[in-house]
């Protein structure tokens, strides 16, 4: 199963084993990262905002319209911003690097 490289909001880095095919948001929460996920993964709250490493961005399916609209409403966005609830983990993302965005 894939490994995820996560940088927390304080800059600390960790590797996380992905044991199930599930959303990146769930993987991060299961690993103990603080993600409020107020909307439960419906791309409607923005609290699961992450920055994807540039080298990985093109390997992810493009953000859908609802995700893109939600990201537009966030303040701390970068070109690499994604909602982690909309990123489905699978073996093709082994080694994916993400950084948690600041809480808004
Ligand atoms: S959990 Fe709410 S937008 Fe992802």
pTM of the full structure: 0.95
Q: How far away, in angstroms, is 14 Cα from ligand 1 center?
A: 22
CATH number for the domain spanning 54: value is: 3.10.20.30
Query: At 24, which helix (H) or strand (E)?
Result: helix 24-30
Q: Encode pLDDT of 85-104 as tens digits.
A: 999 999 999 999 999 999 98
**Which range marks the domain in which residue 61 is found?**
3-100
Which of 64, 70, 7 has its CA nearest to residue 38?
Answer: 70
Pocket test for ligand 1, best of 22, 23, 48 (most atoms within 8 A of CB): 48
pLDDT digits (tens, 9 = 90+) for 47-90: 999 999 999 999 999 999 999 999 999 999 999 999 999 999 99
Average pLDDT, the chain: 96
Q: How far apart are CA 28 and CA 25, in angstroms?
A: 5
pLDDT band at residue 8 using 50, 70 and 90 as cut-offs: very high
pLDDT of residue 7: 98
The structural domain count of the chain equals: 1
């Amino acid at each position: 199963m894939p490994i995820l490289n996560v940088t927390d909001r304080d800059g600390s880095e960790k590797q996380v084993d992905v044991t199930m095919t599930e959303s990146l948001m769930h993987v991060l929460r299961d690993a103990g990262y603080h993600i409020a996920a107020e909307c439960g993964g419906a791309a409607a709250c923005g609290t699961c905002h992450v920055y994807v490493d540039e080298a990985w961005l093109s390997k992810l399916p493009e953000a859908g319209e609802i995700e893109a609209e939600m990201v537009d409403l966030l303040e701390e966005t970068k070109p690499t911003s994604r909602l982690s609830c909309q990123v489905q983990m699978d073996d093709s993302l082994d080694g994916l690097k993400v950084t948690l965005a600041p809480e808004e």
